[in-house]
């Protein structure tokens, strides 16, 4: 399997090359030249087998320059019981016609672990395969969860350095502490005076800075990315769509072959795109529900065909979705235009220079055939947390609440009562204060300690308090640097001790 750039430039490359480099040289994203297929029988047989086995079945069809044995080593190391407990992902029966797919049982309590626990293993092997000798510096802009998951995945991995930039005031208190208490000889965390888009733009500019790349190279460093622009982030996310479907059939929630709904809380469009790829590979999906918070750029895009980031970025209760530029949409557009790289490049240039682009009616029609988009404002998010608890005794985190709300909206406008799976992307304990507010119990805590809120949430719901939270309470803050966005490159050079 070879990979091309979504902007049509450059050569075909191997999967190891795509994973090692992260971004294509023309600024595009790597995508596979074709998609493998699974038969319904193959999908149904996934139920009941260890998660690592399913992961290898999917990964080996894409990462053809890795041996099955290598992939199994990567998957077993990533999805171990020590890291994820017994079942890395769990389909929880909640309502009559909807279940919740819990994806947050990994070390950092967010779904990002599903990919970021395996990416370091894929990447260190990619280095061997591409014959590179240098060390890798992983740059990550984060809206809260990617940063911690990348730090946790890459900490003390030989030959790597991981540098994370987060918006100083744009993440939850637990998210911030998770990052600033990170240990590991090769980890570095910077707060940015700005929002997530400032951080993401800064990282993209650094990737496009050839002079800087050359300078790093002289000192033996290659830049790569742990953001979902990296193909090695996306493939592992395809796995749990198959797993969820096979579980839903096995538990008789649906008949074999029946088309289902997936509602996905969306920011950078990575998670939902992985589902779209799973459907391309044969998974019976009727509709994807693209759920946004007040930063509803994607809702507008899917409703009108115009992508327009010229609007203020709002800080919301679901900070991991506070994004105006959803990078992975580029991969969807490439696919829906039948691989028209120059056309995609034109749109992305317009997005860069004018902050907007418009796709033609034919492309919009294809998008709307498969995707329904909706959003929840802050009050709707809180109300959804409250009503899901009252109706089903299920505790939603704010991101999952946005997706639960969007599924309800979809049913309302479409009268489609098909079975739906809502992807749950974070533990409620990552956002205890907001969840308590949704449950109308915010009065139980005074002050703004996230730990007092977590303990109160535990009292109210009896949901087991994760060990990660009780441990976090004891850890010293190790990373205190706050920098301006324009100083990101200098911060990287200083971290790597490059001074000429």
Ligand X SMILES: *Cc1c(COP(=O)(O)O)cnc(C)c1O
Cite the active site residues.
112
For residue 269, state whether it binds ligand X (rule: CB under 6 A).
Answer: yes
Q: How far is the CB of 185 from ligand X (least distance, A)?
A: 26
How many residues make contact with ligand X (CB under 6 A)? 16
For residue 152, state whether it binds ligand X (rule: CB under 6 A).
Answer: no
Q: How far is the CB of 324 from ligand X (least distance, A)?
A: 12
Site string for ligand X, 16-45 (x = CB under 6 A): ------------------------------
* Member of 125, 127, 279, 399 binding ligand X (CB under 6 A): 399
Judged by CB, which is closer to ligand X: 146, or 461? 146
Judged by CB, which is closer to ligand X: 160, or 200? 200
Q: How far is the CB of 424 from ligand X (least distance, A)?
A: 9
Candidates 267-275, 337-345, 384-392, 466-474 — which segment interacts with ligand X by CB under 6 A?
A: 267-275
* Member of 7, 112, 127, 409 binding ligand X (CB under 6 A): 112
* Member of 57, 160, 181, 266 binding ligand X (CB under 6 A): 266
For residue 426, state whether it binds ligand X (rule: CB under 6 A).
Answer: yes
d(CA 188, CA 65): 32
Judged by CB, which is closer to ligand X: 160, or 268? 268
CA distances from 487 to 303, 324, 496 (A): 38, 22, 14
Candidates 117-125, 253-261, 263-271, 477-485 — which segment interacts with ligand X by CB under 6 A?
A: 263-271
* Member of 57, 180, 296, 425 binding ligand X (CB under 6 A): 425
Candidates 87-95, 120-128, 243-251, 261-269 — which segment interacts with ligand X by CB under 6 A?
A: 261-269
Q: How far is the CB of 262 from ligand X (least distance, A)?
A: 13
Judged by CB, which is closer to ligand X: 136, or 325? 325
Residues contributing to the site for ligand X (CB under 6 A): 110, 112, 145, 228, 265-271, 320-321, 399, 425-426
């Amino acid at each position: 399997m070879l990979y091309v750039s979504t902007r049509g430039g450059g050569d075909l490359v191997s999967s190891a090359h795509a994973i090692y480099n992260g971004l294509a040289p023309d600024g595009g994203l790597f995508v596979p030249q074709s998609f493998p297929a699974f038969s319904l029988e193959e999908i149904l047989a996934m139920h009941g087998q260890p998660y690592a086995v399913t992961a290898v079945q999917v990964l080996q069809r894409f990462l053809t320059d890795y041996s099955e044995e290598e992939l199994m080593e990567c998957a077993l190391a990533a999805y171990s019981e020590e890291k994820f407990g017994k079942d890395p992902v769990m389909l929880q029966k909640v309502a009559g016609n909807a279940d919740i797919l819990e994806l947050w049982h990994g070390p950092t309590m967010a779904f990002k672990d599903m990919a970021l626990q395996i990416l370091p293993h894929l990447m260190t092997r990619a280095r061997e395969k591409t014959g590179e000798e240098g060390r890798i510096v992983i740059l990550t802009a984060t809206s809260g969860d990617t940063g911690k998951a990348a730090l946790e995945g890459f900490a003390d991995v030989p030959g790597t350095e991981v540098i994370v930039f987060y918006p100083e005031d744009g993440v939850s208190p637990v998210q911030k502490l998770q990052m600033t208490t990170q240990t590991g000889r090769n980890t570095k965390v910077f707060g940015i005076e700005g929002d997530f888009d400032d951080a993401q733009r800064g990282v993209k500019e650094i990737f496009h800075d050839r002079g800087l790349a050359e300078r790093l190279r002289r000192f033996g460093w290659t830049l790569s990315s742990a953001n979902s622009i990296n193909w090695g982030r996306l493939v592992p996310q395809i796995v749990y769509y198959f797993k969820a479907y096979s579980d839903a059939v096995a538990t008789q929630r649906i008949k074999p072959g029946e088309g289902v709904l997936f509602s996905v809380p969306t920011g950078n469009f990575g998670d939902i795109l992985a589902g779209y790829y799973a459907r391309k590979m044969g998974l019976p999906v009727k509709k994807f529900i693209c759920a946004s918070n007040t930063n509803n750029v994607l809702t507008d895009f899917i409703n009108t065909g115009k992508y327009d980031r010229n609007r203020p970025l709002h800080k919301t209760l679901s900070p991991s979705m506070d994004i105006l530029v959803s990078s992975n949409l580029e991969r969807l557009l490439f696919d829906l235009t039948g691989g028209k790289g120059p056309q995609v490049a034109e749109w992305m240039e317009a997005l860069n220079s004018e902050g907007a682009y418009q796709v033609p009616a034919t492309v919009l029609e294809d998008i709307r055939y498969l995707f329904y988009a909706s959003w929840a404002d802050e009050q709707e998010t809180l109300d959804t947390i409250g009503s899901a608890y009252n109706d089903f005794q299920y505790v939603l985190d704010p991101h999952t609440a946005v997706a639960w709300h969007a599924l309800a909206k979809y049913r309302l406008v479409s009268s489609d009562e098909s079975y739906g799976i809502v992807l749950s992307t974070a533990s409620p304990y990552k956002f205890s204060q907001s969840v308590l507010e949704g449950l109308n119990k915010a009065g139980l805590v005074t002050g703004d300690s996230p730990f007092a809120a977590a303990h109160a949430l535990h009292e109210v719901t009896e949901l087991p308090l994760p060990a990660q939270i009780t441990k976090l309470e004891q850890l010293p803050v190790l990373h205190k640097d706050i920098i301006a966005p324009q100083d990101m490159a200098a911060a990287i050079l200083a971290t790597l001790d490059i001074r000429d």
